[in-house]
Chain A
């Protein structure tokens, strides 16, 4: 069993599904019926329900945060380094929850789910959702789990946007926030990458206006390759691949358009792996939700104004080589929090891994998270 192999693993875990009885209203004006949320939990909820932490996943993540689904499972959850007994999110003390966002394709209601009104898949009839809609769905899960207030909400990349949105949407239900490699408003550059990704999918002849039975493989793989480049950095790519050729180091160029450089082959591999696990329509909907994310919208563009109701301590982390959500965007957030008089700890971790550093710089990041959670005071819900 996995638990025996690694003493600090949460071991074997099972996902659960929560079906909403009531419709979920959305920012676009429509609502969703019969919403299902897929989630996993680790550790034990205290009788006072004062130790619950919500961890938010990134664009292509899922509810499987840590541990293994079976004894044969080789691959642990996506943030297994951070979650478990004695780890930064210490499951000996904390009750950790991770749920798949609505719009996703890993168990929660998304564009490939069946519309209860028509009995057919939503596909492109699925309503446009926002980060705030995803949080609204999670708030129902929170109440379902018997939690009135999260000890902390944490996330990286898009997960960081959800963590920030939680405080603004439900300030009374958040005791602390950890926002990693993220932004309070997606920049023009961020929107551009998402646009090109969606163009690649929607221009694939197999996309069929979203009504495909088989994934639009080329489009989705191209979208993923583009996105993957934005997760790396010039330095990390040079270090890992340089100009190395696919065949052998001393062979000459093939003088053709086939994969010649190793980086090309690596990206193609990333693209085709992604097609096996992620749905193209979900990719469209989630990237759109990211584009629409601007925390300051509710305060006429004033970020500090939007964050005013959130009086809790924050941990903000950026990475020096992240060019998808560069550190200036975290600093903008820090500045707004300082304006409001929040306790903030901000670290721009020196790293060459680019945006992906939030999954790789486990030592420095783990130390910051562990310190933050250890020192975070609990303010009981009113």
Chain B
């Protein structure tokens, strides 16, 4: 699989990943938990000369990371974070993954043990579209949350406000919050004012 990647490879389609890319400083040490096929890390390595490492549990995605030249550890996020030393990274990223682990609270503490800062990309179940669907008695299934309740990997649905409450409980500081919306959302301008209702996804930069 001698794949050579071209410049398109560093164009990130997902707006949350692009936002994360833009906030990472040059040459930072980055750990991406649930790094998938390594697109974000590849962009950070190429554009920001970051020293990167990924953790992923899907074998096929690990092969894709390797093909991109991204170092990656095969592990489940519910088990393996003890392998990483205290304060060994500048940023630990958890993008659209916190709602897929057994214990989001434990992983947040682990992130801030391993990294100086954490970046969490969080799917907001408090978005107005989700609320409308709930009002009609169903768990949300939409563009941002495409899978039904019985086979979605998001086993810990929560709202942006729930996330903030959890951080408060854990004594975690939210240094920055970036509400994100989808292209074409007619209420997207309101997301800055009222993220819990109008942001489909939020990025939180956290620290202890």
Contact = CB atoms under 8 A, between A and B. Distances in A.
Interface of A: 313, 315, 331, 334-335, 338-339, 341, 343-350, 364, 367-368, 370-372, 374-375
A162 B65 CA distance: 27
B83 interface: yes
Nearest to B4: A374
Interface string B19-62: 00000000000000000000000000000000001000001001
B71 A344 contact: yes
A335 B53 CA distance: 13
Contacts of B73: 334, 338, 344-346
Contacts, number: 63
B133 interface: no
Contacts of B168: none
Contact of B53 (A343, A370, A375): A343
B158 to A, nearest CB: 30
B88 interface: yes
B84 interface: yes
Interface string B60-74: 001101111101111
A331 B69 contact: no
A345 B72 contact: yes
A74 B84 CA distance: 49
18 contacts: A313-B71, A331-B83, A338-B53, A338-B73, A338-B85, A345-B62, A345-B71, A347-B72, A347-B74, A364-B59, A367-B1, A367-B66, A368-B62, A370-B1, A370-B2, A371-B3, A371-B63, A375-B66
Contacts of A345: 62, 65-66, 71-73
B85 A339 contact: yes
Contacts of B62: 345, 347, 368
Interface in B72-114: 72-75, 80, 83-85, 88
Bin chain B's interface residue count. Answer: 20 to 34
Q: What 6 pairs between A and B have smallest CB-CB spacing?
A: A375-B69, A371-B66, A343-B71, A371-B67, A335-B83, A347-B74
Contacts of A375: 66, 68-69
B71 A371 contact: no
Contacts of A331: 80, 83
Contacts of B3: 371
B63 A364 contact: yes
B74 A346 contact: yes
Contacts of A341: 88
Contacts of B85: 338-339
B74 A348 contact: yes
A374 B69 contact: yes
Nearest to A339: B85
Contact of A368 (B66, B80, B84, B88): B66
A299 B200 CA distance: 52
A58 B80 CA distance: 30
Nearest to A375: B69
B113 to A, nearest CB: 14
